Amino acid sequence: MPAVIVVLAVCLSGVQVAGQQLRLQDAAAAAARSFARGDSAAATASRLAPGATVTQRSDGDIDCVTLTDQPKVATGGIAGLILTASSCALGGGL
C-alpha cells in the first residue's frame, strides 16, 4: 500500500509540473507580445508567472522573451528541474 501512495504522489506531481509548464509558456507568449509593443515584459510575466526569471532579447524585428522558473509542487520540489519557456513576437506589436 505505501508503494501505491508514492506512485500516486509522483504521478500527481508530474501533472502539476506539466500544468505549470503550460502556464509558463502562455506567460512567455503574452510577455513577448508586450515586449514587442514596447510595454514591460517583466510586468506581464510577473503578473502571469510570479517568481519566474525574465530574459529579453531583440533580433532585428523579432522580440523574444524567455521565462525560467523552478517547479512548485506539493511534495517540496523536484531537485534540479528547471522549467523554461520561450516565445517571440514581431516588433511593433503587429
Could you read off the pLDDT of 26-66 as tens digits, one per residue? 999 999 999 999 999 999 999 999 999 999 999 889 999 99
For 23-26, the CB contacts below 8 A with 24+ separation are 23/48, 23/49, 24/49, 24/52, 24/67, 24/69, 24/83, 24/84, 24/85, 25/85, 25/87
The DSSP letter of residue 11 is H
Strand 83-90: give its sheet, edge to edge.
53-59, 62-69, 83-90
> Is the model's pLDDT at 76 over the cut of 80?
no
* Paired residues of 56 in beta bridges: 65
Radius of gyration of the chain (CA): 16
- Return mean pLDDT, the chain: 87
Amino acid identity for residue 79 in this structure: A
> Is the model's pLDDT at 94 over the cut of 60?
no
- The angle that helices 41-48 and 2-37 make with each other, rounded to 10 degrees, is 160
Q: What does the pLDDT read at residue 64?
A: 96
